[in-house]
Amino acid sequence: MTDQNNKTNLILRAQNLSKSFGGVKAVVSVSFDLHEGELLGVIGPNGSGKTTLVNLITGFLKPDRGKIEYKGQDITGWTPYRIARIGIARTFQMIRPFAELPSFKNLIIPLYSPRVKALSGGKYGDLDAVAKDYLEEVGFERESSVTYKPAGSLPHGYLKRLELAKCLALRADLIILDELFSGLSIAELASIVPIIEKLVSEGKTVIMIEHRLRELFRIADRVVVLNYGSVIADGIPSEIMEKPEVRKAYLGSE
Amino acid sequence: MWEVAIIYGFINSVILALTALGFSLTFGISGVPNFAYGAMYIFAGFVSWLLLNKLELPFFASALIAIAFTAILGAAMYRFVLLRVRGLVISEVIATFGVGLIILELFRYLGFSGFEYTLPVFSDGSLLIGHTYVDYQRLWIVGVGILLAIGLYFFTHHTKIGLAFRGIAQDEHTALSLGINSDRIAGLSVAFGSGLAAVAAILILPRGTISVNDGYDVLINAMAVCIIGGLGSSVGVVLASFIIGYAQIMTDILSGPQWKMIISLIAILVILVVKPSGLLGKQKELEERI
Amino acid sequence: MKQRRKERIDRGIKARSDDVFSLNSFREMLYVAVPPLAPVLILLILPLELPSYWQKVLVSTCVFALLAMSWDFLVGVGMVSLGQALFFGVGAYIAGISNKILGLPIWIDIPIATVLGGAICAVLLTPVLRLRGVYFSMVTLVLPLMLERIVEASGAFGGTEGISGITPFPNSYTESYLIVFATLFALFAFRRLVTTDYGLVLKAIKDNDRAVMSVGINIYWMKAQALFISGCVGAFCGAFITHVYGFVGMPSFALDYSILPLSSAVVGGMGTFAGSFLGAFILVPLSEALRGIGGLRIVLYSFFLVFFIVALPEGIFHYIQRKYQQFERWVEVDK
Ligand SMILES: Nc1ncnc2c1ncn2[C@@H]1O[C@H](COP(=O)(O)OP(=O)(O)OP(=O)(O)O)[C@@H](O)[C@H]1O
Ligand SMILES: [Mg+2]
């Protein structure tokens, strides 16, 4: 890729983002650029501000300082729903599905979004059928019982997939996954990783917050390391763990 | 005239703050919305009246016992009603509201109304401040009110249980991991708030007869002050009390007492539009952990 | 060791996905049709059969059932109102003013009061929607009581005297059937509404508002819509009663209009609307029958309220529904 190409491809730019809670500095002057089609991993020890960063980008928290640009537009201080409408989807670290609803009905919520309505020509139509399509895409067997089971009773692996399906249903361009891999078995991981790889190959941009470094490094194009709220490293996966400050941050905390 | 406004505005503000502080404190500590607050206030009034007139106890003894009883009632409400629905906001609201109604309407049914239901003033007579007469009871209210505020500050910042209160209020999880029993603290906070309602009742009620309807008024006023000041913020409550307290006295003097309530209403509507979480609301909009 | 345990089995006909079921016999058809048809038939026949006193009771029962449903709807979106009296009172005053002072005929002022009342309540309460938890309850509790005091103190809209001489309904059948139809309509419309995609989103807001926001839905706008819908129902009740009594005044903001609907919905069972309906049809006639005990009535309602919310939060309707849809039998189990 040439330099010029990179510039036109810029999708997200964070500049000097800072956020503190009372005395705790959760995010300190974080800046990074993200290009279309990239898979960015964000890692860091517990409490290093990863989730806070996600909340800042998606509008759930207002930054104390700094600026966020998405596709050249300044979105700092926008409400979460406005940000979602322009194509940024996220998952939550604490997954809380709509427990009483059947799995496929969980997707009605994103499908009801004004974004989806606008993208599909201004009408909602039969959402149930569309919902089942998306579930199939993330590996729910079509017309199987899991599709109809209350989401509260789904196994962990399916819950994570359901979260992914929500991002798909929203037809987001930038997808932010907050610790999607946590708590998954190797087998479950093996079935989810291809879905993410497929997303990237389709041109979506993905940010993955992860503690499962091995799995992340296999698929990430680039990794940003946070410690005490600041970026201490930013580079390609194969080199990132070699940096002394990263080793120190991780060894120091474990 | 300005002198009257300043003096009576101050007294009115202290009264408002006194009636609201307990509600705000309970909520600030444990998140329990005590909608039975007005009932606790009236309960204290009638209990101390009964002790005083039926058992013929001395006034201060009956007042202290009434405060203790009210606190116990609060604790009992927590133990037998709230504990079972802890964490379900809908149920907490409905349950405390229902308990309050039961208490208030039971008093009404039992015929507790009339001129004989009065509490004695602490001391008779009045004092001339400048050109304005102020009766001793109002001075008592102001004095105790201010002492109480200082005492509360000291209590929450320097005693063990007060610090535990604040610990729970600030971060329940950390407090739990430090071995603070959040259920016990929440129960205590409800008892404590109810006790404060009782203190307010003993101080304020001698100014007139005790009537069940006052229970609703106290609840409305407490809510109004908390909405304006910011729920759970004691400083906010005091600030709001002074704003409303003075605004009420000014409207009273300038355009008649019937407009007093309108001031509170306007204040509520304005604050809802300008800053829904109240002047010093701790509850920042959705800024919670996700 | 042998132990006895209660076993519950779904009756064969009830398909869990509640979309598809096939009816194989007339009996099964009855089984499905009776529950929704029974209230319809009873309500349609009652106004013809009841003596005029009990007809009034029916009317106020329906009003409380409507208020209870409008309360229940709000709870389903996560808003616990302690002041349906606000909706009721606003509707009542708009109807009274537009009928008596502006001279609008009854069939015009009721719809106006319904829609305008709903809109006013929604606008008044919208700012609170940005806050979670008990703020909504506090504000809804305070506003109607405050408005009552203000009307009293300022003498606005007739003050303590209220406005009387408002056009009554042409006859008692119009009156009864209007409210009966309104109640049935609301019952089925609400029950239908909550199963639509729109209703699903509303419910999702209650369960997890952040997840809903994160897909681009403006939850405040959705909640304001819910407020409007609920407000319209409440305001309609107020407007209706104004014409029944030919009078509107401070009592329209009274606590009764907040408490009784709340008790009805909780006792009947929240979240089903049929529960609110059932609760009102138990509590309101009961309170008429118990008029002898006077003031103890409110104590009794409140007691029911607390008892059910603490001990039987699912309410009567769920219980009946379970009995109707499931067999129960004692079985021996090895322990
Ligand atoms: N709403 C909040 N109020 C107060 N402090 C907060 C809040 N959210 C986060 N913090 C603090 O900010 C810091 C960063 O938290 P954050 O959740 O962003 O970390 P994280 O990197 O996501 O950690 P983990 O790997 O455990 O998920 C922590 O010290 C945390 O306690
Ligand atoms: Mg995190």
User: Whose structure tokens read 């003498």?
Assistant: C155
For residue range A106-123, what is the model confidence (pLDDT) as tens digits?
999 999 988 988 888 777
Question: A2-6, A239-243, C13-17: which has the highest mean pLDDT?
Answer: A239-243
CA–CA separation, B278 vs B233, rounded Å? 9
Q: Is C218 in Cβ contact with A84 (below 8 Å)?
A: no
pLDDT over 60 at C99, yes or no? yes
- Residue A233 Cα to ligand 1 midpoint, Å, equals 20
CA–CA separation, C262 vs C82, rounded Å? 8
Q: Helix, strand, or coil here: A27?
A: strand
Q: Is C132 in Cβ contact with B33 (below 8 Å)?
A: no
B286 lies within 8 A of chain A by CB = yes
Q: What is the pLDDT of residue C15?
A: 43
- Give one DSSP letter per residue of A171-189, joined into a string: T-SEEEEESTTTT--HHHH
Across the strands, what pairs with A223? A41, A235
SS3 per residue for B175-198: HHHCCCCHHHHHHHHHHHHHHHHH
pLDDT over 70 at A13, yes or no? yes
Q: Is A81 in Cβ contact with C217 (below 8 Å)?
A: yes
- Give one DSSP letter per residue of B116-173, joined into a string: T-BPPPSS--EEEETTEEEEHHHHHHHHHHHHHHHHHHHHHHHSHHHHHHHHHHH-HH
CA–CA separation, C73 vs C222, rounded Å? 13
Nearest listed ligand to the Cα of residue A26: 1
Nearest listed ligand to the Cα of residue A178: 2
* Residue C241 backbone phi and psi in degrees, to 5: -65, -35
Neighbours of A22 (CB within 10 A): 6
Distances (CA, A) of B41 to B142, B200, C168: 18, 7, 43
Number of domains comprising chain B: 1
- Most B CBs within 10 Å, among C223, C310, C314, to test the B interface: C310
| Shortest-distance Cα residue to atom 26 of ligand 1 | A46
CA–CA separation, A135 vs A130, rounded Å? 9
* B-proximal residues of C, 200-229, CB under 8 Å: 210
Q: What is the pLDDT of residue C330?
A: 65
User: Whose structure tokens read 């309904």?
Assistant: C169
Q: What is the pLDDT of residue C21?
A: 55
- Residue B117 within a domain: yes
- What's the ipTM? 0.87
β-bridge pairing A88-90 and A174-178: parallel
C213 → chain A, closest CA residue: A81
C75 lies within 8 A of chain B by CB = yes
Q: What is the pLDDT of residue B52?
A: 86
* A-proximal residues of B, 63-82, CB under 8 Å: none
Structure tokens at C136: 């909504």
For residue range A187-215, what is the model confidence (pLDDT) as tens digits?
888 888 988 998 899 889 999 998 888 88
Q: What is the pLDDT of residue C193?
A: 92
What single-letter amino acid sits at B213?
N
Q: Quote the pTM value.
A: 0.88
Q: What is the pLDDT of residue C24?
A: 63
Around ion ligand 2, which residues have CB less than 5 A away? A 50-51, 93
SS3 per residue for C165-211: CCCCCCCHHHHHHHHHHHHHHHHHHHHHHCCCHHHHHHHHHHHCHHH
Q: Pocket of ligand 1, candidates A19, A27, A43, A48: which has the most ligand atoms within 8 Å of its Cβ, to mutate?
A: A48
Query: Could you tell me the CATH number of the domain that includes residue B141?
Result: 1.10.3470
- Most A CBs within 10 Å, among B166, B285, B289, B290, to test the A interface: B290
Mean of per-residue pLDDT scores for chain B: 83
Phi-psi label, residue C9: left if phi above 0, alpha if psi -120 to 50, beta otherwise: beta
Structure tokens at B286: 């959705």
Distances (CA, A) of B234 to A52, B195, C74: 29, 16, 30
Across the strands, what pairs with A42? A209, A224
- Give one DSSP letter per residue of C101-160, joined into a string: IS---HHHHHHHHHHHHHHHHHHHHGGGGGS-TTHHHHHHHHHHHHHHHHHHHH-GGGGG
pLDDT band of A80, cuts 50, 70, 90? very high
Contacts of residue C177, Cβ cutoff 8 Å, sequence gap at least 6: C47
Query: Could you tell me the CATH number of the domain that includes residue C152?
Result: 1.10.3470
Q: Which of A92, A127, A148 sits opposite C211 (nearest CB)?
A: A92
With contacts defined as CB-CB under 8 Å, which chain B residues touch A46?
Answer: none
Nearest Cα of chain C lies from the Cα of B59 at a distance, in angstroms, of: 30
Strands (E), A44-173: 65-70, 73-74, 88-90
For residue range C161-216, what is the model confidence (pLDDT) as tens digits?
888 888 888 888 888 889 999 999 999 999 999 988 899 999 999 888 889 999 99
Percent helix, strand and coil across chain B, each to the nearest 5 = 75, 5, 20
Compute CA C214 distance to the chain's CA centroid, rounded to the nearest angstrom.
31
Residues of C with CB under 8 A from a CB of A: 17, 197-198, 200-201, 203-204, 207-208, 210-219
Contacts of residue A6, Cβ cutoff 8 Å, sequence gap at least 6: A35
Pick the closest to residue B232 from B180, B176, B277, B174 (CA basis): B277
CA–CA separation, C283 vs C301, rounded Å? 8
Let me know how long chain C is.
Answer: 335
Q: What is the pLDDT of residue C64?
A: 93
Positions in chain B short of pLDDT 70: 1, 168-180, 282-290
**Which secondary-structure segment (H or E) carries B27?**
helix B2-30
| Shortest-distance Cα residue to atom 19 of ligand 1 | A47
**Start-to-end CA span in chain C (Å):** 5
Across the B:C interface, residue pairs with CB atoms under 8 Å apart total: 137
Q: Is B257 in Cβ contact with C75 (below 8 Å)?
A: no
- Residue A250 Cα to ligand 1 midpoint, Å, equals 17
Percent helix, strand and coil across chain A, each to the nearest 5 = 40, 25, 35
Q: Which domain holds residue C128?
A: 2-334
Contact between residue C9 and residue C326 where contact means Cβ atoms under 8 Å apart: yes
With contacts defined as CB-CB under 8 Å, which chain C residues touch A114?
Answer: 216-218
Residue A44, ligand 1, Cβ within 6 A: yes
Q: Helix, strand, or coil here: C163?
A: strand
Query: Which of the other chains make 3 or more beta carbon contacts under 8 angstroms with chain C?
Result: A, B
Q: Is C259 in Cβ contact with B81 (below 8 Å)?
A: no
- Give one DSSP letter per residue of C248-287, joined into a string: E-GGGG-THHHHHHHHHHHHH-TTSSHHHHHHHHHHHHHH
Structure tokens at B269: 């509507």
Q: Helix, strand, or coil here: B72?
A: helix
Dihedral of CA B187/B192/B193/B197: which sign? positive
Neighbours of C168 (CB within 10 A): 15
Q: For chain A, which domains are there?
A: 1-87+205-254 (3.40.50.300), 89-172 (no CATH)
Q: What is the pLDDT of residue B177?
A: 66
Q: What is the pLDDT of residue B172?
A: 65
Contact between residue C266 and residue C279 where contact means Cβ atoms under 8 Å apart: yes
Number of domains comprising chain C: 1
Q: Which domain holds residue B74?
A: 2-280
CA–CA separation, B132 vs B83, rounded Å? 50
- Residue B103 within a domain: yes
**How big is chain B by its Cα radius of gyration, in Å?**
19
For residue range C119-170, what is the model confidence (pLDDT) as tens digits?
999 998 888 887 777 888 888 888 888 888 888 877 778 777 888 888 888 8
> Stretch A226-231: mean pLDDT, rounded?
89
A191-197 long-range contacts, CB within 8 A, separation 24+: A191/A139, A191/A157, A192/A139, A192/A157, A192/A160, A192/A161, A192/A164, A193/A218, A193/A219, A195/A137, A195/A138, A195/A139, A195/A161, A195/A164, A196/A39, A196/A164
C160 lies within 8 A of chain B by CB = no
Query: Which of the other chains make 3 or more beta carbon contacts under 8 angstroms with chain B?
Result: A, C
Q: Which of B33, B277, B285 sits opposite C137 (nearest CB)?
A: B33
Pick the closest to residue A217 from A187, A253, A181 (CA basis): A181
CA–CA separation, B253 vs B4, rounded Å? 9
Across the strands, what pairs with C164? C247
Q: Is A80 in Cβ contact with C213 (below 8 Å)?
A: yes
Q: What is the pLDDT of residue C127?
A: 83
Q: Pocket of ligand 1, candidates A46, A51, A62, A95: which has the most ligand atoms within 8 Å of its Cβ, to mutate?
A: A51
> Stretch C229-257: mean pLDDT, rounded?
90
**Which secondary-structure segment (H or E) carries B275?**
none
> Stretch C81-103: mean pLDDT, rounded?
90
pLDDT over 70 at A25, yes or no? yes
Dihedral of CA C164/C169/C173/C176: which sign? negative
Mean of per-residue pLDDT scores for chain C: 84
